[in-house]
Amino acid sequence: MPEPVCAKFTGKLLFIVQRREKRLHGFLSVVSATKLVAFCATVTVPALAVTAEHSEPEFTMNSLEDGSVGPALQSRQASQDMGDFTVLRNRAGDVAVANLDLANESVDRTRALIAGGLDFVDLSWTAMEGATGYDIYRDDVFLLHTADTSLRDSDLTPNEYTYTVRPSGKHAEGGFGIATRVGSETLGEAQEGVIALAAAASAKSRVVVQWNTFIPSKYIAAPNPIAGVKLCGEYSDSSKYKFAGDDRGFQASGWPYRTKLQGSYEWGSLVFTPYKDIWSTKVYNSAGTLLATKTAFSGNISVTKLAGSSATSVDMRFVLHAGNPFCKGAIDGAMTITAKKSGTWSIISGNYRQMPNHEIYISDQSSWKTVHKSTLANANCLAGQMLCPLGQLGSKYGSY
């Protein structure tokens, strides 16, 4: 994340200040209406303070709750299966295509509302635990850092946009990704936008999440004794022995591998299909002669569907613990991931030992999107978990 630049404005009374920042294809406006002695804002291309109408976000969760915006479609129009998408209208008659996917979340999770108008996007969310601020991304490109929980991104061209909000702070938790469509001026155009988004979501018949681990090299040297302890038994000598790797890079096809976990969920039937597999471990001498082959116990790896999953949202729990059958070390990790039929995902919590390479992907069957990639730390991980650093998976989110 780029370092913010602090710009200070002083005065007895500041009624409305509009900050316009040139960001990619559009501008972002943040408005304050309060008494200030000093105002510090993150800016890249500052402009003179001006009064502006409709410069602050209007289509927010607060405005939806207090009634200043509301559903624009009549019951007959809304009777079509539009899922979590709808049209909102404010008191001035302006309309916006709204995605209520995260606005209907349970109280123990981050709730959010995104709405796209003619040339803007309004985004609002509930405060996240431990957050000191939020990094905002549009289509995976950094937009700005803010301490607020709402914003308007202005001067956008008609298109579909995905926004990601990531909390900052040492103990911050949460984050989400969410999408909407920009370019609707009339109620009819907004309804067409809603129908298009709903149709795209309905076309998703299945979501598949896959977590693979692999050794990128053809071989990896056996670890030497540590403090005189041979943690890989008779094979604890890097000059004499080596283990077979998978000889590949990161790839969604994920073969060959050390371990493979996959969860598949059908949105229509609500049927969940788990899959797990562990590849055999082979040890060779320095001349390349195969000495032994074993397969680790698979009883400690699993992927399950959690309670509360529905026709529009599924929670999957992945647990990964597969020991090297020749050594004390183990491939280790766990995560809980939520996938939405509307096309967003988030990892609620998770971590892993940094050996070997880890790769996590998600798909709606049309293409794979990357959730996580990490490379192995060092071969000492083969000797024991305490020697292997821990990586974090929590607070990851995106779209697929």
Please name the amino acid found at residue 54: H
Confidence tier at 229 by pLDDT (50, 70, 90): confident
Is residue 270 scored above 90 in pLDDT?
yes
Cβ pair 126, 162 in contact under 8 A: no
User: Cα separation of 139 and 83, whole Å?
Assistant: 23
Confidence tier at 384 by pLDDT (50, 70, 90): low
- Give mean pLDDT, residues 89-112: 84
Q: Which DSSP string do the residues of 13-73 spell out, in sequence order?
A: -EEEEEEEEEETTEEEEEEEEE--S-EEEE-SS-------TT-S--SSHHHHHHTSEEE-S
| Confidence (pLDDT) at 74 | 57
Confidence tier at 383 by pLDDT (50, 70, 90): low
Structure tokens at 80: 């079509």
Q: How far is CA 395 from CA 97, 128, 136, 154, 336, in A?
A: 27, 11, 14, 27, 11
**Which tens digits make up the pLDDT trace of 278-289?**
999 999 999 999
User: Cα separation of 321 and 105, whole Å?
Assistant: 31
| Confidence (pLDDT) at 37 | 30
- Give mean pLDDT, residues 259-264: 96
- Helix (H) or strand (E) holding 360, with range, is strand 357-363
φ/ψ of 155, rounded to 5, equals 55, 40
**Which tens digits make up the pLDDT trace of 193-225?**
888 887 777 778 899 999 999 999 999 999 888
Mean predicted lDDT score pLDDT of the chain: 81
Higher pLDDT, 36 or 299: 299
Weakest mean pLDDT among 50-54, 113-117, 245-249, 284-288:
50-54
**Which tens digits make up the pLDDT trace of 83-99?**
678 899 999 999 999 98
| Confidence (pLDDT) at 81 | 52
- Give mean pLDDT, residues 285-296: 95
User: Cα separation of 220 and 305, whole Å?
Assistant: 35
User: Cα separation of 214 and 216, whole Å?
Assistant: 6
Is residue 2 scored above 80 in pLDDT?
no
Is residue 28 scored above 50 in pLDDT?
no
Is residue 275 scored above 90 in pLDDT?
yes
Weakest mean pLDDT among 14-23, 219-228, 245-254, 324-333:
14-23
In the chain, the percentage of residues whose pLDDT exceeds 90 is: 48
Confidence tier at 343 by pLDDT (50, 70, 90): confident
